A and B are shown apart, each in its own frame.
Chain A
Amino acid sequence: MIHRILALALKSGVATVRYPRQPPILTEEFRGFLVFDPTKCVGCGACTRVCPANAMNLEIRGNEIVVEYFAGRCILCHLCFYACPFGALVATTSFDRTTTNFEDLFDRVAHEGAACPSCGSIHATKRLIQFVDLVLKSEGIEIEDRLRLCPECRRIEALRALNAFRIGMEREGVEHGVE
């Protein structure tokens, strides 16, 4: 009996992976932690919208807009990697974010915020507005001043413009809906 077991054991060999000395068994498809590239991030917040665990956060702190990756809450779904239009989040097969310091679990990027010229509130990063300018120029679209406003002020300005247009039409005696 023992001979048969020994023969089987010798045939099957050693199953143990001596992990700290040997590399771990990982497939190429393994989804590991994300590496945050602060030079490529513009602070658009696309990652914060898709993150199911809210591990990606966009926060306004004073004059800065902080993009924060909290690895301790990340569920490794890589949705932010697919959502990022700038390739600022790099998908890796690394699982080593183990630490004894809680602050090590955070990756933060602080962007300079752009103030609204009307109300002065911080609504987007300067890098994002520069990027939008570039795209609009390459498309040949003229940049209106209204684009620089924050969403609240832009809404008010749009309504004001619409109202002025309506009043002008009424003065000329044009009725609504009738040519």
Chain B
Amino acid sequence: MLSMALSRRSIWVFHLNTGSCNGCDIEILDALTPVHDVERLGIKLVASPRHADVALLTGPVTVKTLPMVVRALRAMPRPRAVLAIGACACGGGIWHYSYPHLGGFENLRKLLDSMGIVIDVVGYVPGCPARPEAIIDGIIKLVTRKEGGSR
């Protein structure tokens, strides 16, 4: 149902930096350049989370950015999809033992669940930084995800 809903139209993505080092953000911009040109696949970067199907989340979700991240994800329409890009967003990266962040998207998701904000699909793109090809792969896997898969 969700995969159908997403794959029948273009996927609009919103770039959400949660305290990333800008490595993964550069790779997202790289995917938008003529070399990879994701607009040929219908993937378009939008400026507002209210217009977005997928949030491209980079960074380990620092405490400073947490209120803004929660507001941005709450503003997204259902079905919400999040693509956690990079080692930081997937598992905390090299920061996972330090204090001023949640340590990746898994912990943020638990917090969002307790606040009643449902994330319908999550994709994980590991790598430090994640390659633009891997980001394209991630969006395609997120959209063509088989029904009855995990979560």
What 1/0 flags go to A149-166 for Cβ under 8 Å of B? 000000000000000000
Tell me the minimal C-beta distance from B40 to chain A in angstroms.
7
Q: Taking the complex as formed, is A24 at the interface, i.e. its CB lies under 8 A from any CB of chain B?
A: yes
A20-B136, A74-B128, A100-B123 known; A105-B142 Cβ under 8 A: no
B residues neighboring A (CB under 8 Å) = 34-37, 40, 87, 90-94, 96-97, 104, 106, 121-128, 130-131, 133-134, 136-138, 140-142, 145, 149-151
A99 nearest CB across to chain B (Å) = 5
Closest Cβ–Cβ distance, residue A25 to chain B (whole Å): 8
Closest chain A CB from B24 CB (angstroms): 12
Residue among A15, A54, A74, A99 facing the most chain B CB atoms (10 A cut-off): A99
**A19 neighbours in B (Cβ, 8 Å):** 36, 133, 136
Q: Is A96 an interface residue (CB 8 A)?
A: yes
Chain A nearest CB: distance from B97 CB in Å?
A: 7
Known interface pairs A16-B37, A24-B131, A76-B128; A100-B142 also in contact (CB < 8 Å): yes
- Tell me which residues across on chain B come within 8 A of A99, comparing CB atoms: 123-124, 141
Q: Which residues of A contact B35 (CB under 8 A)?
A: 15-17
Q: Which of A36-44, A65-73, A81-89, A108-116 faces chain B?
A: A65-73
In the assembled complex, which residues on chain B have CB atoms less than 8 Å from the CB atom of A73?
Answer: 87, 90-93, 96, 126
- Complex Cα distance A71/B150, Å? 18
Query: Are A95 and B127 closer than 8 Å at their CB atoms?
Result: yes
Q: In the assembly, what is the distance between CA of A87 and CA of B39, in Å?
A: 42
